[in-house]
Amino acid sequence: MSFQKMDGVDVALGSSWRTVKMKSLELAPGRHTVSIEITMRFFEQTFDGSTNVSFVAKPGKTYVIRTQINSSDHQSLRAWVEQSKRAVPDP
């Protein structure tokens, strides 16, 4: 999984020749929509997909985006946001 956009703004770094995909983002408190790209491998097949996840970030909290492949249709999945059990590191 990699982040593509945050509130409609590209977060992937680089050009089409070489893209650095971000694995974490720092967010201000408030409502956000994160666009993610997902590559799923199921045995010898690879499926690519993208989706948006919206949530309200609270001050001092850490969140994790989770994904799960549909057990009956391996080409579809769901994504959601959970509050992380890890504390926010001090700056």
DSSP letter for 27, please: -
* Strand-pair partners of 35: 5, 52
Count of domains observed in the chain: 1
Amino acid symbol at 51:
T
Tell me whether residue 2 is in a domain: no
**Residue ranges for the chain with pLDDT beneath 50:** 17, 91
Tell me whether residue 67 is in a domain: yes
In this prediction the pTM is 0.68
User: What is the extent of the structural domain holding 59?
Assistant: 9-83
Tell me whether residue 91 is in a domain: no
Tell me whether residue 54 is in a domain: yes
The pLDDT, as a whole number, for residue 31 is 95
The pLDDT, as a whole number, for residue 54 is 93
Tell me whether residue 89 is in a domain: no
Tell me whether residue 50 is in a domain: yes
Tell me whether residue 27 is in a domain: yes
Instruction: Please provide the DSSP assignment of 51-87 as one string.
Output: EEEEEEEPTT--EEEEEEE-SS-TT-EEEEEEE-SSP
